[in-house]
Amino acid sequence: MAKVSAIRSAARAQQARVEDLFAQLAGCGRTDPGITRASYSPEETAAHAVMMRCAADLGLTVHRDAAANTYMTLPGRDRSLPPILIGSHLDTVAHGGNYDGAAGVVAGLAAIAAIRSLGLRPSRDLTVMGVRAEESVWFQVSYLGSRAALGTLPDGALDAVRIDSGLRLGEHIAREGGDPEALVGGRAAIDAGAIHAFLEVHIEQAPSLEEAGIPVGLCTGIPGNVRYPDVRIAGRYDHVGTPRRFRRDAAMAGAEIALALDRIWQAREAAGCPIAVTFGRFHTDAAAHGLTTVPGEFRFSLDMWAYAAEVLSEIEAAFLNAVATVVESRGVTVTLGVRAEAGVGMVSVGIRDGLAAAAEALGIATQLLGSPASHDAAAFAKAGVPMAMLFVRNANGSHNPNEAMAIDDLLDAVAILASWLVAETCEV
């Protein structure tokens, strides 16, 4: 049995490699402020190239699929066995940080480097997957890269338009070296039934670990979500002196919907049922609104998430009921637009317990933690792949330029991951 101390030392020895990778990634899409690597952009492709060069230096085999996802594999002794995938995404939101997503790919490569440095060869393939297009802000669809690989892209996804370029997803995939025609009809690049496990390391996107003083969290579950990216309320523009009974105020209708969902949120939270409701965009028409005008148009985006599918359905039903109420009471019309959803991600308790045991043996403190956000791992779980996640402490939240993950904390996660991989594949 490989000694725990040797694994931890081997993980710690990856510090220079890890720091160099993050320095190179920072140059792929550096903006002021932060990092911008749009899904299926040259900057995202450059980040994948950084990882492929590192993989080549480690002697791993490298290939890409039709969706331009990257696979970097340490071959196992028996290549007929189902492989273990370790992965995350390399795209970012606009003006994001350098760790969201990328930390998971870096951690996977560092764990494999640590295992190789110990002279160990796994029984089955270990593959680090650099996933494309996880950030749904760009195409308004979640997990595009992972779902493309699994053959579970939603109908019409290839025609989704990127918000900044106006070009279709299929066009962007082709521009970045993929083959969108090969994705038509749900053709999968990887067989979900032939994957032993999928593991993802990710920075925590809330301050729970920072508050607790604990470096690594063990994920207990990933919420599902329902999203309406562009809801439009049409009322009537009027003078501010118009009496209330004559108004068809689109802004007030939007506010009423928001308050109805906030009341549901408060009630659920008080009952110990965590959910979240976010109106990411919430605005009148800047070209027509004014101090002395009753708004005749209002638009918003809506994201609702929960850890249980039935709870998510109840929240959506409350939203639709609120919409029906304002249509009736305020004389407005509501166009819901596109609806997108992502399923709840169930964590493999067996893998999570194995990671917990590895952490305990290494002397690394951990905490059970529900994910406050969606991740590629959820797409694998929905496809039937056993899945687990490690969260790394991050002081300043995510989706902003001030992400503040400590490299020491990431190396703790690398040690836990490497220890589990050794126990799972290198010991008889």
Boundary (domain end) residue, out of 342, 359, 383: 342
Taking the CA atoms of residue 165, residue 169, residue 174 and residue 178 in that order, the dihedral angle to the nearest 10 degrees is: 130
pLDDT, tens digit (0-9, with 9 covering 90-100), for 343-384 = 888 999 999 999 999 999 999 999 999 988 889 999 999 999
- Average pLDDT (287-292) is 95
What pLDDT, on the 0 to 100 scale, is given for residue 318?
Answer: 97
* CATH code of residue 271: 3.30.70.360
Same-domain pairing of 245 and 359: no
Residue 214: partners with Cβ closer than 8 Å, 6 or more residues away: 365, 366, 367, 393
Contact 411, 12 (CB under 8 A): yes
Return the amino acid letter for 121: R
* CATH code of residue 212: 3.40.630.10
pLDDT band of residue 2 (cuts 50, 70, 90) is low
Range scoring the smallest mean pLDDT among 254-263, 337-346, 375-384: 337-346
Alpha-carbon gap, residue 242 to 295, rounded angstroms: 12
Q: Is the pLDDT of residue 428 over 70?
A: no
Alpha-carbon gap, residue 103 to 94, rounded angstroms: 17
pLDDT band of residue 52 (cuts 50, 70, 90) is very high
Contact 341, 226 (CB under 8 A): yes
Same-domain pairing of 302 and 378: no
Q: Residue for token digits 């101390």?
A: 5
Same-domain pairing of 83 and 131: yes
Same-domain pairing of 145 and 210: yes
Other CB atoms closer than 10 Å to residue 80's CB: what's the count? 8
pLDDT, tens digit (0-9, with 9 covering 90-100), for 125-173 = 999 999 999 999 999 898 999 999 999 999 899 999 999 999 999 999 9
Specify the pTM.
Answer: 0.87
Contact 348, 160 (CB under 8 A): no
Same-domain pairing of 174 and 72: yes
Peptide bond between residue 33 and the one before it cis (omega within 30 degrees of 0): yes
Same-domain pairing of 217 and 237: no
Same-domain pairing of 81 and 166: yes
Our measurement of the distance from residue 414's CA atom to the centroid of its chain's CA atoms, rounded to an integer in Å, reads: 19
Q: Give how many domains the chain has, as a whole number.
A: 2
Same-domain pairing of 216 and 76: yes
Boundary (domain end) residue, out of 297, 320, 342: 342
What pLDDT, on the 0 to 100 scale, is given for residue 185?
Answer: 85
Q: Residue for token digits 């108004």?
A: 247
Rg of the chain on CA atoms, in Å: 23
- Average pLDDT (397-408) is 92
Same-domain pairing of 58 and 185: yes
Q: Is the pLDDT of residue 90 over 90?
A: yes
Same-domain pairing of 91 and 162: yes
Same-domain pairing of 308 and 269: yes
Boundary (domain end) residue, out of 287, 320, 342: 342
**Could you tell me what percent of the chain has a pLDDT over 70?**
99
Which structural domain, as residue segments, surrounds residue 301? 224-342
Q: What mean pLDDT is reported for the chain?
A: 96
pLDDT, tens digit (0-9, with 9 covering 90-100), for 197-239 = 999 999 998 889 999 999 999 999 999 999 999 999 999 999 9
Same-domain pairing of 153 and 246: no
